[in-house]
Chains A and B, each alone.
Chain A
Amino acid sequence: MLDQLTHSPHFYHYLYLAVAFLAAFNILEVLFLLVHKTRMERNEIRKEALKRRVSTAIVTVTDPAEILPEPSDYVEYAAYSEAISSVLESFEGELAQRASGLVRKLGIDSYYRSMARDAVWYKRASAIDTLSAFRLPHNREFFLAVFRSEASADVRYRIVFGLSLLARGSEDIVAISKALSSLPYLTAKYTEDIFFNIITALKLAGKEEDFGKFLTAIMNDASIRPLIKRDCIAACHAAACERAATVVKRYFLTFKHEPEILIACVRSLVRMGNFDVIHEALFHPDWRVRLTGLKYAHLSKDDLLKDLKRLLHDSNYHIRVNAGQALARLGAPGAQALREAAGADDKFAAEAAAYALTLAEAAR
């Protein structure tokens, strides 16, 4: 076949033709890329200019919709939504109201709502992210409806996140928890963020106590996994949900055999000013709970000197080292205890004490 081709009188014609075709293809490809790059750069410049215009209008005009034209293509919608999201993320009060008003008046939410029904999943995901950033209460029902029909897990996670930003009461928390339970897998950070958003939204709505009621309702609910309960309490810590302090204390007393829940409880309660749990945490059989207690030992109102000295002899290395540092944070009596322990027969305790003394010296 190759012989036939190379001996053909038209061989060089074919060869020239093939080379010419490849050269033309390459030139066209380069031209296409150059045109595409120029177009993208132009769009980016247009978007930045429009974002600046929208931001300035929000700041300077009481009703920015009066002076801004309706967006007409994808780039313009992106510019409007980025400018508005940036305002809503950073500011509250009048500026936030003006930005939210712009979303409704210029039909920006309608555009993204229709995009949230697109056939391509990443377009739907992007639309949900944008709608979430607007935090418009009327999108709650829309999110719930889309969640019911959405097939892509990637989009479903985003919808739950969007819903968490719009929570206004107990019903919403239950709806979001059900939606959470239907997701294929959950990470601690994601779940904590969801509950953090819920608490923050409830605080804004003046219904912070609703989260405490929710925690009470799920405490003995076996269908809710312990790790989700832990993430709820961790969110209480992050969002400083002080109205839930009593319930968190009940969790601490109830879940004695769930170290992860206990750790979250200790952190939350300490942040809320309840230091009673520190002493008890120091006696827990799980070293991670003892460690959490040690981190906050200096805040306790109880006299922990004796217990901290005992923990210098703990079988766990982390506990011994942190007991030394907790003693160092107690001031003069702690330093005295460390000096005594540094010369003790137990070489592990002596090492931990000497290390804590070195650190304290270096800090001075």
Chain B
Amino acid sequence: MLLIFKAYLSKAGHEVVTAIDGMAGLEKVAAFGPELIILDVNMPRMSGFEMAKQLKETEATKDIPIFIMTSLKQEANIKKGYDLGIEEYITKPTNIEHLKLKINKFLERKKTC
């Protein structure tokens, strides 16, 4: 999925940085300061929920929009995601075109603010 995202969003003109797990993700966020973060939930070492929690609790990263994209469709997980303060909870399979539109909209809104 990482490969697909990277290829697709790069083609759409975005600069994409990927990480294979939550710990590496936090390091990349600190190093690159992204405008938007897309997370999976099931990741090695640190889950997407834990990573989102840490990002939303940190002053420097709490305003970065987070999208969680996962195959976990249970209501409890969706609620957990939104309770952590994430912006979008997207379940797989998803339409990447729609996802691109959402990403663009979020980034535009962020620039306007």
Give A contacts to B, CB under 8 Å.
Answer: 51-52, 55-56, 58-60, 83, 86-96, 238, 271
Interface residues as binary, B22-54 with A (CB distance below 8 Å gives 1, 0 otherwise): 000000000000000000000000000000000
Of B73, B75, B96, which contacts A91 at CB under 8 A? B96
Given contacts A51-B3, A52-B3, A55-B3, contact A90 B93 (CB under 8 A): yes
A91:B93 contact, CB within 8 angstroms: yes
**Considering the chains assembled together, what is the distance between the CA atoms of A108 and B108 in angstroms?**
42
- Smallest CB–CB gap between B65 and chain A, Å? 20
User: What B residues does A51 contact at CB under 8 A?
Assistant: 3
Q: Is B17 an interface residue (CB 8 A)?
A: no
A95:B96 contact, CB within 8 angstroms: yes
- Smallest CB–CB gap between A120 and chain B, Å? 31
B11:A91 contact, CB within 8 angstroms: no
B3:A91 contact, CB within 8 angstroms: no
- Smallest CB–CB gap between A239 and chain B, Å? 8
**Considering the chains assembled together, what is the distance between the CA atoms of A52 and B1 in angstroms?**
10
**Considering the chains assembled together, what is the distance between the CA atoms of A83 and B3 in angstroms?**
9
Q: Is B101 an interface residue (CB 8 A)?
A: no
B4:A90 contact, CB within 8 angstroms: yes
- Interface majority SS (helix, strand, loop, mixed), chain A: helix
Q: List 24 A-B contacts (CB under 8 A).
A: A52-B3, A55-B4, A56-B3, A56-B7, A59-B7, A59-B11, A60-B11, A86-B4, A89-B93, A90-B4, A90-B69, A90-B71, A90-B92, A90-B93, A90-B94, A91-B93, A91-B94, A91-B96, A93-B95, A93-B96, A93-B97, A95-B8, A96-B93, A271-B75
- Smallest CB–CB gap between B42 and chain A, Å? 12
User: What A residues does B95 contact at CB under 8 A?
Assistant: 91-93
**Considering the chains assembled together, what is the distance between the CA atoms of A96 and B73 in angstroms?**
20
- Smallest CB–CB gap between B20 and chain A, Å? 12
Residue of A nearest to B93 (CB): A92
Of B4, B74, B92, which contacts A95 at CB under 8 A? B4
Give B contacts to A, CB under 8 Å.
Answer: 1, 3-4, 7-8, 11, 69, 71, 73-75, 92-98
- Smallest CB–CB gap between B55 and chain A, Å? 22
**Considering the chains assembled together, what is the distance between the CA atoms of A65 and B69 in angstroms?**
28
A89:B4 contact, CB within 8 angstroms: no
B4:A58 contact, CB within 8 angstroms: yes
- Smallest CB–CB gap between A136 and chain B, Å? 15
User: What A residues does B98 contact at CB under 8 A?
Assistant: 93
Of A86, A93, A96, A238, which contacts B1 at CB under 8 A? A86
**Considering the chains assembled together, what is the distance between the CA atoms of A96 and B7 in angstroms?**
15
- Extra contacts, 18 of them, besides A59-B7, A92-B95, A96-B93 (Cβ < 8 A), are A55-B3, A55-B4, A56-B3, A58-B4, A59-B4, A59-B8, A59-B11, A86-B1, A86-B3, A89-B93, A91-B4, A91-B94, A91-B95, A91-B96, A92-B94, A94-B97, A95-B96, A238-B73
- Smallest CB–CB gap between A264 and chain B, Å? 15
**Considering the chains assembled together, what is the distance between the CA atoms of A116 and B71 in angstroms?**
28
- Smallest CB–CB gap between B25 and chain A, Å? 18
User: What A residues does B4 contact at CB under 8 A?
Assistant: 55, 58-59, 86-87, 90-91, 95
- Smallest CB–CB gap between A298 and chain B, Å? 15
**Considering the chains assembled together, what is the distance between the CA atoms of A93 and B1 in angstroms?**
15
- Smallest CB–CB gap between B83 and chain A, Å? 13
**Considering the chains assembled together, what is the distance between the CA atoms of A281 and B45 in angstroms?**
41
Residue of B nearest to A54 (CB): B3
**Considering the chains assembled together, what is the distance between the CA atoms of A148 and B23 in angstroms?**
48
**Considering the chains assembled together, what is the distance between the CA atoms of A98 and B94 in angstroms?**
15
Residue of B nearest to A239 (CB): B73
Given contacts A59-B8, A59-B11, A60-B11, contact A88 B93 (CB under 8 A): yes
- Smallest CB–CB gap between A85 and chain B, Å? 11
User: What A residues does B73 contact at CB under 8 A?
Assistant: 238
Given contacts A60-B11, A94-B97, contact A89 B3 (CB under 8 A): no
> Which residue, of B1, B3, B69, has the highest number of chain A Cβ atoms within 10 A?
B3
**Considering the chains assembled together, what is the distance between the CA atoms of A90 and B98 in angstroms?**
13
